[in-house]
């Protein structure tokens, strides 16, 4: 694994190649670089949410209107989304999620551990296909494969980016 590998750049290129024009997010430190890159792209729109389930509604609406969107969030926000994930499932609309994990590798905050452990089982319980990744040089290709599955098969997918990649935080860090 290359610690200096440009996984946000890989994800952005995969997004561009697939026509993903809208990124919905509750900002997270592990996503900062990618979100700044999206914001700088003329053909892309970054939508900052007040809560993660709003992004599921926006992504579903984009699909119904002929566009492509995704949701970028931290694993702690996944618990907020479980009920809302019924919307794209009922409409057979894709819901592509990029989830930075907490509660794993070197976690300092015990509050993050339960949802970090429950993210994948909770998503899978409501039919989301999960793709965990713990190597920086595999994030882009994993995201691309999850996006293709979501958009071609009209299902929900989530790429779970390990805390090992985004790094463990400590008190006083952002």
Question: Which fold, 7-163?
Answer: Rossmann fold (3.40.50)
Is a pLDDT exceeding 50 seen at residue 2?
no
Beta strands at 69-74 and 156-161: parallel, antiparallel or unpaired: unpaired
> What are the tens digits of pLDDT across the range 36-75?
999 999 999 999 999 999 999 999 999 999 999 999 999 9
Is a pLDDT exceeding 70 seen at residue 170?
no
What single DSSP character describes residue 34? H
Q: Where are the beta strands (DSSP E) in 63-128?
A: 69-74, 95-100
71 touches 103 (CB < 8 A): no
Domain map of the chain by residue range? 7-163
> How does the average pLDDT of the chain come out, rounded?
91
Backbone angles phi, psi at 157, to 5 degrees: -135, 155
Task: Quote the percentage of the chain above a pLDDT of 70.
Answer: 92
Is a pLDDT exceeding 80 seen at residue 90?
yes
Write down the pLDDT at residue 106.
72
> What are the tens digits of pLDDT across the range 115-137?
788 899 999 999 999 999 999 99
Closest CA relative to residue 127, chosen from 161, 90, 160, 156: 156
């Amino acid at each position: 694994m290359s610690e200096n590998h440009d996984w946000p750049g890989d994800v952005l290129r995969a997004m561009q190649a697939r026509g993903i024009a809208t990124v919905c997010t509750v900002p997270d430190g592990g996503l900062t670089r990618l979100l700044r890159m999206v914001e700088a792209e003329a053909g892309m729109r970054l939508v900052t949410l007040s809560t993660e389930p709003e992004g599921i509604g926006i992504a579903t609406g984009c699909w119904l209107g002929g566009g492509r969107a995704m949701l970028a969030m931290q694993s702690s926000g996944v618990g907020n989304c479980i009920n809302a994930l019924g919307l794209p499932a009922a409409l057979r609309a894709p819901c592509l999620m990029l989830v930075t994990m907490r509660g794993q590798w070197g976690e300092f905050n015990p509050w993050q551990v339960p949802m970090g452990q429950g993210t994948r089982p909770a998503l899978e319980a409501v039919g989301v296909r999960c793709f965990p990744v713990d190597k920086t040089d595999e994030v882009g290709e994993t995201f691309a494969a999850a996006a293709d599955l979501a958009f071609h098969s009209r299902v929900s997918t989530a790429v779970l980016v390990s805390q090992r990649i985004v790094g463990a935080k400590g008190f006083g860090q952002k």
